[in-house]
Structure 1
Amino acid sequence: MKRLQCPCCEYFTVESNDEVIVDICDVCFWQYDAVAHDQPDRNIGANHISLTQARKNYKEYGVCKQKFKAMVREPLDIEQQYNQN
């Protein structure tokens, strides 16, 4: 299983072997969205918030949107220092 870095919290929480990834990060609740990742200042895609704003929210609240605070957890050790080799 391939593990990717979440573009919001930057932990390696996204696991997928698929070309189209729709995983939601357990640490920040950001839904992986390649369209939004390419345009981080625009409010587009499934998250209904810009990636730039979600990153600011994560730094301040520990979650991409405050309303999801009860749905997240702390990162696991493997998610903090994942090595794909």
Structure 2
Amino acid sequence: MNYTCICCEHFTRDEPHSGFDYEICPICFWEDDSVQNASPNSYSGANAVSLNEAKMNYQKFGVSELRFLQSVRKPNNLQKNDEE
């Protein structure tokens, strides 16, 4: 994994964000979306919360939305970012 999730910033992507692949991050459960990537305060798109709200949720709860709490996992050593 060479690229980071736009929400949790862990290395979970094999390719850079295109916004059109709708890949779901296994760490925070953010679904990549071109509308929300370009407009981080937007609530329209693949996710029920804005990208900025998802980032705050990840900092507080370890997940982009609380409803996905049972679906996520901690990053492994290769996926961790420089801040960990």
Short-chain TM bin: 0.7 to 0.9
More helix by share: 1
CA distance in 1, matches of 2:15, 2:37: 17
CA distance in 1, matches of 2:33, 2:3: 12
Higher Cα Rg, which structure: 1
Percent pairwise identity: 35
Give 2:3's aligned residue: 4
TM-score w.r.t. the length of structure 1 is 0.82
Question: What is the DSSP-based 3-state SS (H/G/I as helix, E as strand, rest coil) of the residue aligned with 2:73?
Answer: coil
* Aligned residue-pair number: 81
Instruction: Flag as ranges the 4+ runs of structure 1 deviating above 3 A.
Output: none
Give structure 2 stretches of 5+ with no counterpart: none
CA distance in 2, matches of 1:67, 1:40: 20
Contact 1:23 1:32 in 2 (8 A): yes
CA distance in 1, matches of 2:81, 2:67: 28
TM-score w.r.t. the length of structure 2 is 0.83
- 1:28-47 equivalence runs, <5 A: 28-47=28-47
- State the superposition RMSD in angstroms: 2.2
